[in-house]
Structure 1
Amino acid sequence: MLIVETIARIRREHFIKGKTIKEIARDLKVSRNTVRKVLRSGETSFEYERQVQPRPKLGRWAVELDGLLAANAAKPAREQLTLIRIFEELRSRGYDGGYDAVRRYARRWSKERGQSTAAAYVPLSFAPGEAYQFDWSHEVVLLSGTTVMVKAAHVRLCHSRMLFVRAYPRETQEMVFDAHDRAFALFKGTCTRGIYDNMKTAVETIFVGKGRLYNRRFLQMCSHYLVDPVACTPASGWEKGQVENQVGLVRERFFTPRLRFKNLDELNAWLLDKCIAYAKVHRHPELVDQTIWEVFEAERPQTRSLCRPLRRLPCGDGIGLEDLPGALRQQQVLGRSQRSRATGRGSSLCRSHRDPSGWTHRCRAPAILWPRRYRLRPLALCAGARPQTRRLAQRCSLQRLGAASRDRADPAQACQHRRRQSTDGRHPQRGAD
């Protein structure tokens, strides 16, 4: 059988050096008929494929082997048998042939079945303004000299490939809502469909097929933006492959080498500029004569215009979230927005008469809820706590005392109550410092 190197040398000897068939046959020690076959056919390789495979022993067992292979393919991946187990099952039924014949037949059967199933597929192409994809990733950055693991929210328009990335301290539902709010503000519109994975903040129960029981507050957000949510099949990342690819691209181009910023606000401002700069420089993968930003500008008129930004939405037990950015600030400081696992007591966000512009964290019990590292005792009693953290504890304590005395009509009685509640007997405002 001729190898590819011999065929290439025969062609070079004849077409480049101008040798005759007789000279080539003498030099390479091959027959003249072989040289003629190579030169006249114009082929660069010759392969022999058997047209009919004789199966003297497997022939009458082909029907049973087809049934075993089909039944095995229908089982879950962890329950499927190997070919050697199928061969042993066939031997137990009376087959006296060899394993190689079964292996060749199973390989051909799998190839034919794969061709029949792969003939029908849905291409992942999207019309302008049709869909966007959302996903989370974990990135490591340096904030104020401290190594921090941040959660990056990724949003990608499927048609124009326009990307949006924003970093958050965690993946709570408030962060999901804020990421959508800021992404749609950049896009200046929304799409018809939103493609997600089965994250807990969006999907509560997974049914057979595409059936999902979505989170009620997540559905409220989708209803606000008139978006139809679509959850991917579990362990099928290709259904939202664009944003999965964006995660790796952003990690390689944006977060490598490790970023250094003072706080999350500076990091997010830098990420927004990088997203826009990347879109203006790089070409669209399908419309190669245009950049991503140019396709994005053309897609904007096809998106649904925003009626109003997301600012009022319920977000948990006992929480009335009317100011989403204010609640996010409290999330970064206090670390919890829903029921605490440390004390088993609820907490809520409420407006404070001392800080009307923002939200304060009011507890329903004397103990204050704190992040995980200070979960065993109240932060104000921790001797090793940082000075700014101790001042935050004193401030929250004063706000709680002020809220309790606000309902008292007599100012003198309210002042006496604050003195009695103070731990050191001094006035709370004087003792705060």
Structure 2
Amino acid sequence: MLTITDINTIRNLRNNHDKSIQHISNELNINWRTAKKYADNDLIPKLKTRKKTGMLYTEKWGGIVALWLSEDAKLPKKKRRTAETMTADLKAAGFPGSYRTVCIFIQDWKATHYLETQEDHGFERLEHPPAEAQLNFGTMEVCHDGAFKDVKVLVMTFPFSNAGFAFTLPAENQECLLEGMKELFRQAGGVPRKIRIDNMSTAVTQTKSRTEPAILTDGFLRFATHYGFETQVCNPRSGNEKGSVENKVGYVRYNFFSSTPIMKDFVSFNEALAKELAQDRERIHYEKQVRIDELWLTEKVDLLALPDVDYPVFKEMEVKANKYNEIKLDNERIHIPRARNYSIIYGVLRFDSYQLISTDGEIISEGLRPYMMKKRAINWQAIFLDWRIKPRAMHYSRYWKYLPERIKLFLSHPDWKEQDQRLNRLLSLLVTHDMSGIDAHFYDLLAASSEKDAYDIDWYQYDAFLSLPEEVVN
């Protein structure tokens, strides 16, 4: 490459001394084309565009991560997947790259799509003796019966060892709080000596102030007396006073709820969550450089013993029916046949169910509490439109696992053109049907109208296979 001095010499000979290109080439011993380039062409600096290379830019993996990031960008930050989670999902699909490679791609993608800034606030470090716990609720999202559902996860952490326990509940009222605490005590194998909470309305009737202590509700106070723990209420707007559980709620969200897990029911989901948290305690403590489960075994000795008698959690109330035989429960109206025939009706509320009882002890009605049925439909139309843009990344989408099995197999056609046609067919059906309805009437809407080719499936045999007992399938 010629230096700037050489270039200036060429232009000087050409412009000021009227030398020919051939003369300049011979005199400076350079190629004729090089002499022509620097003698007669304008030397205008151009912006260099550097094309990204690597497997995430040239292979399918970049499209998959881009789809995940675009999906997560539409969700609140607490529901987005971390780079570590994305790397683990990619490796499960055969990605040969590293965590660092994924981080660099994510950083590049965010730089061209959106920028988020966070403020940093410092707090004074607090000391935490053994057997003292912190408690807080967190709102998480699960997929239940083909729809999204917000659940409340009660998290209890022991700052001394950083051991954490969590229990999923349908709501954040006092019945759910006490039922969740019972289960957390059972998981821990004992009762903390002190529990620090914020000014949650389910436990605190009067907020703590500079001159007055916090006043606990009668129900929470009776529960605390039965189990023998002391309650410490934080100052208002002082999340740093229970920073351990605040961090643990975020840790549970980003590690166990980052991609909206599928929940069959609360019982099985909580059992699986407890096992995952028990395995998580095998990691090294971030500061003490000792395994958390070893620290927990040391701390567990100081816990209070569980009482011999289990505490029954329920709430009694008197309800009245309007002229339409309706009662109001959890801000929802429930129709109770012949409710007006009873002058007084007593309601017994548990965390997941209710009973309506007459003065004679007759059970008039019972069922699930209204918030147990609250769900949000998945916007499959918008998701399918995104999949049409990136069809090869469709199977790696965060929403793929929520599709009914028939629909998954229907879309798993090896021919891309046929995939596109089937996506269009489903999009047209979603105008008048929901996904559960399409799945329920699959034979009438899709299977019967699908063209016969080498890749078609006998759907009746497929459904018969799915209905076999699990031990037979395995």
**Max radius of gyration: which structure?**
1
Return the TM-score normalized by structure 2. 0.44
Q: Which has the higher contact order (CA 8 A, sep 6+)?
A: 2
**TM-score in terms of structure 1 length:** 0.47
